[in-house]
Amino acid sequence: MYHHVMAGDGKNLPEDSSFVGLADFEAQSLALSTAGYKTLDFTELGSILDDKMKAPEKPVIICIDDGYAETLKSVLPVLSGNRQKAVVGLVTACIGEFDDWQKARKEYYKIIDETLVVEYSRLCFSFVSHSQTHPFLSRLSDNELEKELRDSKQTIEKLTGKPVNTLIYPYGDRDERVKTGLAAAGYRFGVSISAKTRYVLEDLLDLRRVYVKKDENTGTFMRKLSPWYLWYRGLRRR
Instruction: Give 236's pLDDT tier (boundaries 50, 70, 90).
Output: low
**CATH classification at residue 189:** 3.20.20.370
Predicted TM-score of the model (pTM): 0.93
- Binned at pLDDT 50, 70 and 90, residue 194 comes out as confident
Per the structure, how many domains does the chain have?
1
Helix (H) or strand (E) holding 24: helix 22-34
Confidence of residue 51 (pLDDT cuts 50, 70, 90): very high
User: What DSSP designation does 56 have?
Assistant: P
CA of 51: how far to CAs of 28, 39, 235, in Å? Answer: 30, 18, 29
- Write out the residue range of the structural domain in which residue 206 sits: 4-237
Find, among 196, 189, 220, 225, the residue nearest to 210 by Cα. 225
Residues 169, 173: Cα–Cα separation, whole Å: 6
Q: What is the pLDDT of residues 109-121, one digit of tens each?
A: 999 999 999 999 9
Phi first, then psi, for residue 236 (nearest 5°) are -65, -30
Is residue 197's pLDDT more than 90? no
Contacts of 97 (CB under 8 A, 6+ apart): 110, 111
Q: What is the pLDDT of residues 77-110, one digit of tens each?
A: 999 999 999 999 999 999 999 998 876 566 789 9
**pLDDT over 70 for what percent of the chain?**
94
**pLDDT per position as a tens digit, 7-37:** 876 667 888 888 999 999 999 999 999 999 9
Residue of higher predicted confidence among 138 and 196: 138
Question: Could you please report the per-residue DSSP string of 65-78?
Answer: EE-BHHHHHHHHHH
